[in-house]
């Protein structure tokens, strides 16, 4: 969807129409995870959303792994289009470890 300009614009309009209809504060995009081929497309999608957001919030949930960030996120471009970034840090620790870490299921 994000690789096609027409589809991006349709999605952006549809999403913003939905949040306006139900009086939401904005939209949070959680794309797990854009790869190098979609790095530009993800930034363009966020830019298209922001262009029609009419002051509604545009936020994203992002990877915390620097390899994923470098591969899939054009950080300077994304920063121009989002109001807030939620870094997904909940998978730093888990059942694969011998010790309990922060934000682990107990």
Of 17-21, 87-91, 96-100, give the range with the top mean pLDDT: 17-21
The range of the structural domain enclosing residue 64 comes to: 5-87
Does the model's pTM come out above 0.75? Answer: yes
Does position 106 have pLDDT exceeding 60, yes or no?
no
Q: Count the Cβ atoms, other than its own, within 10 Å of residue 87.
A: 11
Taking only the tens place, the pLDDT of each residue in 36-74 is: 999 999 999 999 999 999 999 999 999 998 999 999 999
Q: How many domains does the chain have?
A: 1
Exposure string for 44-76, b = 16+ CB within 10 A, e = fewer: bbbbbbbeebeebebbbebbeeeebeebbbbee
23 within some domain: yes
Active site residues: 32
Give residues with Cβ within 8 angstroms of 78, minimum separation 6: 42, 43, 46, 60, 85
65 within some domain: yes
């Amino acid at each position: 969807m994000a690789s096609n300009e027409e589809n991006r614009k349709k999605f952006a309009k549809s999403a913003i129409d939905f949040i306006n209809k139900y009086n939401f504060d904005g939209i949070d995009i959680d794309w797990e995870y854009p790869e190098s081929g979609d790095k530009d497309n993800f930034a363009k999608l966020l830019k298209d959303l922001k262009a029609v957001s009419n002051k509604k919030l545009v936020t994203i949930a992002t990877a915390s792994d620097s390899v994923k960030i470098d591969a899939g996120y054009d950080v300077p471009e994304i920063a121009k289009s989002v109001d807030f970034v939620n870094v997904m840090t909940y998978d730093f620790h888990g059942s694969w470890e011998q010790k309990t870490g922060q934000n682990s299921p107990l």
